[in-house]
Structure 1
């Protein structure tokens, strides 16, 4: 598989890393690695890199989905090259979003401008970087995408420190790069890529990021990892290894009591929640799953049942009924419930509570089970060996 054209991402002056220690890196970790990418001819690289034999091109749709790009975001494609992902991100962020193609070669940026214009993509910008700076303004981007490019950083600590400045608080970095495993990886990759995933991850963490996610289900020659910009020196950013965006947790490496596989838990939710807000019991279910993820376990290693009744009953109403009753356009709990269900969580609503609250069964969102009563769920699952967690 041919390597995509990689552009040397620029390096800013020294910054203070999360540890509070200034890091100097005056020597290139691999001098000359970018010499062949000066004055490129984009049409030649299109033929080499936008072909099915290249894994990241073949898996481009899966990669885009895994990036979890949202409409309205600003995404920087670092080392954009021929603009394959720049154009895909343009569609993903929509008219309200922005995509910035960053590259050291003006020839690539001109090609990105032309191809994006031909597609009518008006939200694409280009940014020429230098060996010393990305030229991206501070706090200007939501997501940085680095595909088969990180191993071309000659000054990785400075480069990532520069990128950290450009990210908004909580901003994400997605890194896709070649697996480098002696005895398994092709000789070309062993000779070309200076280090493996573990070394690259340690450099990124040292630069002020926390690893939050890894996707392993569709790439073979490459790996896909996500990092989040840490918010405060010394303060860990939340991790979302199983349920994205909800129930954030932090890793506690020296903890004496960790989640164990095989637990069965029943969460009894009755508390009220303001209309338009996520119910805390659902967020706690997400947190429970993420705790298992941080501990290296899978969602299937724990069985969770959530039963909603009392004031929590409204959390299961469909959008149409929710809006009519509470004046809020959408029920924000439904998307979280879907994520929980996809992870194997069973969600029930009490049929008695629905009647008491004058919510018809037809108002319950599709896919949510109506139990005869919450008491029935509690009694039955306790007989099945579930631990009872009242969240009142």
Structure 2
């Protein structure tokens, strides 16, 4: 039977939409990582910022030491780690202990030994200067309260000539536009090299001048 009060249903739906918009605006103004309880969403397929596109633009090579910031449950971790074999290492730093534990379990199940998950804040990375040949973060930069500080930290831990790949995709409320990324990264000493994507998302590569 059809509802005798369609206006109430409409108002209810409108209320949900308004609440959703309000939540998105609040989340954008108060950046924070995706909660572990919502991890199922970060394992969904990602158009534009695919695993292959990220890996190809990053160009990981056997024997390199690479950093992933904000790996979450490891959506990009395993493909990149395989490209570093036989003697390269992928360090995966996440600010959420639950994500680090989840990733450790996933790596054990996959018998993947060249990944080192660690707890770490992108605004104060637990690594020495010039530690890595490359680094990447996907759907992460906008979640960091001080993006320029995080970019400065990435600049610090990358070797001269090192590569940085950043991926962003709408409708992420923390979406960082390519122009914003370029301006902020260049202020921290990066050189903008390439952008691959569409109007709704992109993967960009930057580098540290040699």
Whether TM exceeds 0.5 here: the answer is yes
TM-score under structure 2 length normalisation: 0.78
Aligned residue for 1:230?
Answer: 209
Counterpart of 1:71 in 2: which secondary structure? coil
Aligned residue for 2:89?
Answer: 98
CA separation of 1:49 and 1:230: change in aligned 2, threshold 3 A: same
Deviations 1:305-351 (A, max 9, x none): xxxxxxxxxxxxxxxxxxxxxxxxxxxxxxxxxxxxxxxxxxxxxxx
Aligned pair partner of 1:117 in 72, 95, 108: 108
Q: Following superposition of structure 1 onto structure 2, how do residues 238-253 of structure 1 map, counting pairs within 5 Å?
A: none
Aligned residue for 1:166?
Answer: 157
Deviation at 1:132, TM superposition (A): 4.8
Q: Tell me which protein shows more helix as a share of its residues.
A: 2
Deviation at 1:35, TM superposition (A): 6.6
Aligned partners of 2:58 and 2:164 also within 8 Å: no
- Unpaired runs of 5+ residues, structure 1, are 1-29, 180-187, 232-392
CA separation of 1:119 and 1:220: change in aligned 2, threshold 3 A: farther
Counterpart of 1:84 in 2: which secondary structure? coil
Aligned pair partner of 1:48 in 38, 41, 44: 41
- 1:151 matched to 2:142: yes
Deviation at 1:100, TM superposition (A): 0.7
Counterpart of 2:76 in 1: which secondary structure? helix
Deviations 1:205-251 (A, max 9, x none): 101100122224xx5521111111123xxxxxxxxxxxxxxxxxxxx
Aligned residue for 1:75?
Answer: 66
Deviation at 1:156, TM superposition (A): 1.5
Q: Which of 1 and 2 has greater Rg?
A: 1
Aligned partners of 1:171 and 1:228 also within 8 Å: yes
Aligned partners of 2:48 and 2:169 also within 8 Å: no
Deviation at 1:95, TM superposition (A): 2.4
Instruction: Please identify runs of 4+ aligned residues in structure 1 that moved more than 3 A.
Output: none
Aligned pair partner of 2:185 in 204, 218, 236: 204
TM-score under structure 1 length normalisation: 0.43
Aligned partners of 2:33 and 2:143 also within 8 Å: no
Deviation at 1:131, TM superposition (A): 7.1
Q: Tell me which protein shows more strand as a share of its residues.
A: 2
Tell me: higher relative CO, structure 1 or 2? Use CA pairs within 8 A at least 6 residues apart: 2
Name the CA distance, whole Å, in 2 between partners of 1:214 and 1:145: 14
